[in-house]
Structure 1
Amino acid sequence: MTTLAASHRGTMILVALAAATVVAVGMGMISSILVPVLLTLVLTICAHPVRVALERWGFPHGLATGSVVLVVFLFLAGFVVALVIAFTQFVGMLPQYAGQLADLGSKIGEWLGKLGIGQDQIQALLKGIDPNSIVDFATGLFGGLFNVTTSLIVVLTMLILMAADAMYVPTILRQLLGTHQELVVSLAAYASNVRRYMVVTTMLGIVQGALNTVALVIMGVPAAVLWGLLAFLCSFIPNVGYFLAIIPPIVFGFFVGGWPTVIGVIITYAVINGVVQSIIQPKVVGNAVALSQSLTFLSVLFWAVVFGPMGAILAIPLTLLARAILVDSDPDARKWRPAIGDIAEARRLIMQDDAAAKAVRRARRRAREAGASLEAQPSEDRASTG
């Protein structure tokens, strides 16, 4: 019977993994549609309290919804314009460093040759340091962002429709509360958590990018605005975003200022990003994310494979949505929350275990003390006691 149950459980796990693979491949095939929709969903969730506040202040529903849509659209449009200008400047100044890139490539090739790496592998690597290859790589890196942000018509349309439909969401959730209470609670918690995470990360990312840009300008690093925008985008990518953001300014800082500039860039990024992402952000966001570091890193890799660069940026909101639907809304599956990173729940279980362990230790200590006192009695007293 046990073998049959284990076999059934193994079959269910394999079927679930196969279904997840099919769903992931399918989402990747229609990523051009899903990515703008998911981005709009996150933006609508973040902007919803503003619309509610405007309506509470007496603004008509249409005017409140239109105001929020306009603000979000202007933010996206301004970001696209800044990104295009910075990227154009980067492409224009890149040929100036062609010789230095070639020298850097030759030095890397010599170092790799000393390590015993074959010439074919070295040549394949050195092709990536060519200015044209760097432009192609940067275009591919920002291509996913351009595909979304340049499709502002689709985003704007979805934003208007979702913002208009959002006014009916509370009524729908109240109707579902009686029959699907766990689902309603999990979706409400998801909206609150993802709103807190995205708003805080956006504000801190703007500060972080601005400070990095100012520091790079002072140090004379080329394309400082582009690297500041890159730092802003990478602030949404946990674990690996910092390393993606710091590599370009290190390389071009070395070209213009040598090792002193490189050390200055490293120290500046370490201080700014360390304070923002390691001290300020966790305190403000709190337990809104509640994902383990391993799962967070895995989610970045997974969504980046499925949706490209925008998948890495939206990795946390998408993972929280999957958790809300698959785990939080199912009472039987909620026992897995501590395993996937719910610190508060894990701490509560640990405290329960500690309390139980302390109770057991107290009981054992009293038993030992009782046994010791019984052994200390004279033999006639023990006999009379017996």
Structure 2
Amino acid sequence: MVDNYKIPPFLNQILIISVIILATIGMKYISPILGPVLISIFISILIYPFLMWLKKKGFSYNVSILITLALTFVLGLGLLAIMVMSISQLVAAVSTITVDPNSFLATYANQIIKFIFSNIPLENIAGIIEMGFFLIFAVMFLIYELPYVKSRLIKGLGENSLTLKHTFDLVADFIEYFVIRIKVNLLAAVGFVGIFWLFDINFAILWGILTFVLGFIPYIGIIIAAIPPILVAWAKYGIGGAIAIAILFVIVNTIAESYVFPKLTGKGLQMSVYVVFVSLFIWGWILGFAGMFLAVPLTLVVIKYLENFHETRWLALLLTTDDEAEKEEEDEKPS
């Protein structure tokens, strides 16, 4: 009798939702550790194709891994040094970034500047260095381990495992999408740095790095990245300079997102705009800034996981969009 007992469907759904809530609370509790670890995993997955590319070019595996690790260390250390030096200069100059009291909307501009810089922990240079070195070495160690992790998964789950196939397909989709995202962000960041240098905006490199990083945050990332250089331009050139920088930001971002990005990728995220937007705040609440940075890949992981089980497939369908189906529905509508 007990063996034939089945959990009622409504209770099954309640259990699923309860598990999701408990998992969310657990991730929130360990977010100071989990966030940096997830970022290191994400960066490692993006760098791994470079290792494979070197092998295809005829280099041995040992030489390929040495080149990859060396470039990762040099690039990571260089970016960290630039950020630390730029932030140190910004800390020293932050008190001088004020808008002329006689200019248009000066009172509001100075209040915004004061609010923003007072809420950014610029003085915590030691914390930035510590986090930077953790990410550099965590990424290097994980890149070294990734080939062995892959072989262990194949050995443990079997070469023909559907779960393993779905995992590898998901990773491949990640790499394809986010490599394109890196190219677009880099193009936009170089364009913005050129604009900042042209207008002699202080800390141009720092704002460029900020633009590149925040470009991974859909919709609101570029808005956040635009605020500091616009305020610096306002303080230096007045409201006219701020408007000019804002317009150039819109132009460069429009070219990158509306022309370059669609040309490089033939498919989207298959997530609705609402889901992407809400996921930014949910993952941001759970993991802090790391959550906003990783909101899209983490949401895709959740969706792919939910798709693997009959009981949760309906949740995955709610979070995705079927572009082809929607297009067919539009075509069938009477004109």
The answer to whether the superposition gives a TM-score over 0.5 is yes
- In the other structure, the counterpart of 1:351 is 328
Q: Following TM superposition, by how much is the alpha carbon of 1:273 offset from its aligned partner in structure 2, in angstroms? A: 0.8
The reply to whether residue 323 of structure 1 matches residue 323 of structure 2 is: no
* Paired residue type of 2:254: G
- Matched-pair contact (CA < 8 Å) for 1:66–1:160: no
Q: Distance in 1 between matches of 2:102 and 2:286?
A: 34
CA contact (8 A) 2:103 2:238 kept: no
Residue in structure 2 matched with residue 64 of structure 1 by the alignment: 64
Q: Which residue of 2 aligns with 1:130?
A: 114
Highest RCO, 1 vs 2 (Cα 8 Å, sep ≥ 6): 2
Cα drift, residue 238 of structure 1? 0.1
Amino acid at match of 2:221: G
More displaced stretch, 204-213 vs 142-151 = 142-151
CA distance in 1 between partners of 2:330 and 2:126 (Å): 50
Task: Find out whether 1:165 has 2:148 as its counterpart.
Answer: yes
Change (3 A) 1:102 1:30: farther
**Identical residues among aligned pairs (%):** 20
Secondary structure of 1:210's partner?
A: helix
Moved more, 232-241 or 279-288: 279-288
Unaligned runs of 5+ in 1: 1-7, 110-124, 359-386
Moved more, 233-242 or 56-65: 56-65
More helix by share: 1
Report the counterpart of residue 204 of structure 1 in structure 2.
184
Q: With the length of structure 1 as denominator, give the TM-score of the two structures.
A: 0.72
Could you tell me which of 138, 162, 173 is aligned with 1:193?
173
Under a length normalisation based on structure 2, what TM-score does the superposition of the two structures give?
A: 0.82
Q: In 2, distance between residues paired with 1:143 and 1:13?
A: 46
The code of the aligned residue for 1:241 comes to G
1:48 correspondence with 2:48: yes
Deviations 1:52-75 (A, max 9, x none): 333344433333233223323332
CA contact (8 A) 1:196 1:288 kept: no
Other-structure match for 1:249: 229
Alignment deviations for residues 21-47 of structure 1 (CA, whole Å, 9 cap, x no partner): 321222232233323332232223223
Distance 1:353 1:252, change over 3 A: closer
2:122 corresponds to which letter in structure 1? T
Alpha carbons of structure 1 residues 137 and 349: separation in structure 2 relative to 1, 3 Å: closer
Letter in 1 for 2:188: Q
Find the counterpart in structure 2 of residue 281 from structure 1: 261
Distance 1:185 1:105, change over 3 A: same
Cα pair 1:141 1:309 within 8 Å, conserved: no
Q: How does 1:254-265 map to 2 (within 5 A)?
A: 254-265=234-245
The letter for the 2-side match of 1:257 is Y
Matches within 5 A, 1:198-237: 198-237=178-217
Q: Is the Cα contact below 8 Å between 1:46 and 1:195 reproduced in 2?
A: yes
Q: 1:341 to 1:144 in 2, by over 3 A?
A: farther
Secondary structure (helix, strand or coil) at the match of 1:151 reads helix
**Residues 282-305 of structure 1: per-residue CA shift (max 9 Å, x gap):** 342332522111111111111111
**Rg larger in structure:** 1
Distance 1:174 1:21 in 2: 29
Q: Give, as a single letter, the amino acid of the residue that structure 1 aligns with 2:230.
A: I
Runs of 5+ in structure 2 lacking a partner?
Answer: 1-7
Aligned pair in 2 of structure 1 residues 246, 351: CA closer, same or farther (>3 Å)?
same
In the alignment, the residues of structure 1 paired with residue 261 and residue 80 of structure 2 have an alpha-carbon distance, to the nearest angstrom, of 25
The amino acid that maps onto 1:189 is D
Q: How far apart, in 2, do the equivalents of 1:35 and 1:17 lie? A: 23
Query: How big is each residue's C-alpha offset from its partner over 1:344-374, in whole Å with a ceiling of 9 and x where there is no partner?
Result: 4xx247638967x99xxxxxxxxxxxxxxxx
